[in-house]
Amino acid sequence: MSDLDPYPDSRAARDAWILARRVGIARTEKLHPRHPSHWLRESEPDPAGGQASILTVFLTNKECPWRCLMCDLWRHTLEETVPVGAIPEQLDRALAADQVEHPRRAQWLKLYNAGSFFDSQAIPAADWPKLALKAQSFERLVVECHPKLIRDDRILPFHRLLGSGTRLELALGLETAHPEVLERLNKGIDRETFQRSAHWIRHHDMDLRVFVLVKPPFLNESEALEWACRSIDFAFDCGANTISLIPTRSGNGALESLATRGEFAPPRPETLESALAYGIQLGRGRVFADTWDLEKLEPDAIRCSSLRARLEEANQMQRI
């Protein structure tokens, strides 16, 4: 394997190319199948103009079966499916720990699992009744899902278990609306697949959150801003209520290889800020910029802290 090997055209060859570049990159140590990998409290503007307090739980489960070019979430996963009962136990632990630190219960619950909630290898379907029951004490439940798993037989039974008192929001990665780049990201979807899944979600009266990458590989800085804005438009046209802008970050081996070939570099901070400003000023829904690992975008500590403050304020106020 060499960094100079070009990125392949076929799906199977890409999977192998991406996997080969993981060598030497460790998974997170000490993940336990009965403990969440992390949990935190955050807040977000709600659709009514207030602020919702949110408990976000990062579940520990089996790695996602897709091999997206930019993904490093596999680092926080296990190689095998967790036993039935382990995921509800993880949620119990997070709820108990949250209760110790916060006397008031969060309004929303996010269950993020570094993959798809409706992938039965990750979250056993036998655990759905317990999970739905626990989620019923929240106003809203947000879960991630690959667009190809948005299907009647997966989502509707869980939605019925959840009941009408808790709003179900599905978070889908569009990544980019650029047709060729989307294909090369190896996610196994095209714009039409995404559109169909999004319409299914809205048709079944659920909410849609969309992840958009800012500056995926193969785009220069000005193309990156143009396509972040076009992706925001596309996501809103598909019925998105919320869009989360994710600056593309290296760290999975594959992006480092592309960087050596001049086919990837992280976005400049101003590209992220401009995309956020564009999305917010549209007024079509809530748009957030992801602020995790911002130092990869802005290594200067003072400028990074000021960038973080500006992004967090824009996220919270939905105003630039």
Neighbours of 208 (CB within 10 A): 24
The enclosing H or E element of 11 equals helix 11-20
Which one among 64, 91, 246, 294 touches ligand SF4, defined by CB under 6 A? Answer: 64
Q: Is residue 71 close enough to count as binding ligand SF4 by CB under 6 A?
A: yes
Alpha-carbon distance of 17 to 11, in angstroms, equals 10
Touching ligand SF4, residues 97-126 (CB under 6 A): 114-115
The nearer residue to ligand SF4, 114 or 280, going by C-beta atoms, is: 114
Q: Map tokens 């996010």 to a residue.
A: 110
Which one among 17, 39, 58, 66 touches ligand SF4, defined by CB under 6 A? Answer: 66
Radius of gyration of the chain (CA): 19
Q: Is 207 helix (H, G, I), strand (E, B) or coil?
A: strand
Task: Output the smallest distance, CB 98 to ligand SF4, in A.
Answer: 24
CA distance readout (Å), 222 to 236, 267, 290, 320: 22, 10, 20, 21
Q: Is the dihedral of CA 88, 94, 97, 102 positive or negative?
A: negative
Number of residues that bind ligand SF4 (CB under 6 A): 10
Task: Output the smallest distance, CB 224 to ligand SF4, in A.
Answer: 18
Q: What angle do CA 116, 117, 122 make, to 5 degrees?
A: 80
Q: Which stretch binds ligand SF4 (CB under 6 A): 53-61, 68-76, 153-161, 253-261?
A: 68-76
Task: Output the smallest distance, CB 115 to ligand SF4, in A.
Answer: 5
Which one among 25, 31, 52, 73 touches ligand SF4, defined by CB under 6 A? Answer: 73
Q: Which stretch binds ligand SF4 (CB under 6 A): 62-70, 156-164, 247-255, 256-264?
A: 62-70
Task: Output the smallest distance, CB 237 to ligand SF4, in A.
Answer: 22
Which one among 154, 187, 249, 286 touches ligand SF4, defined by CB under 6 A? Answer: 187
Task: Output the smallest distance, CB 187 to ligand SF4, in A.
Answer: 5
Task: Output the smallest distance, CB 194 to ligand SF4, in A.
Answer: 12
Neighbours of 199 (CB within 10 A): 14
Q: Which stretch binds ligand SF4 (CB under 6 A): 63-71, 129-137, 230-238, 290-298?
A: 63-71
Alpha-carbon distance of 93 to 240, in angstroms, equals 32
User: How many Cα atoms sit within 13 Å of 276 on the Cβ side?
Assistant: 28
Alpha-carbon distance of 104 to 111, in angstroms, equals 19
Nearest Cα residue to 42 out of 59, 34, 54, 32? 54
Which one among 59, 68, 201, 258 touches ligand SF4, defined by CB under 6 A? Answer: 68
Which x/- pattern, by CB under 6 A, does the window 143-162 give for ligand SF4? Answer: ---x----------------
Q: Map tokens 């119990």 to a residue.
A: 92
Q: Which stretch binds ligand SF4 (CB under 6 A): 47-55, 64-72, 195-203, 263-271?
A: 64-72
Q: Is residue 16 close enough to count as binding ligand SF4 by CB under 6 A?
A: no
Which one among 36, 88, 124, 173 touches ligand SF4, defined by CB under 6 A? Answer: 173
147: β partners: none
Nearest Cα residue to 118 out of 164, 90, 77, 150? 150
Alpha-carbon distance of 194 to 177, in angstroms, equals 10
Task: Output the smallest distance, CB 172 to ligand SF4, in A.
Answer: 9
The nearer residue to ligand SF4, 108 or 112, going by C-beta atoms, is: 112
Contacting positions for ligand SF4 (CB under 6 A): 64, 66, 68, 71, 73, 114-115, 146, 173, 187
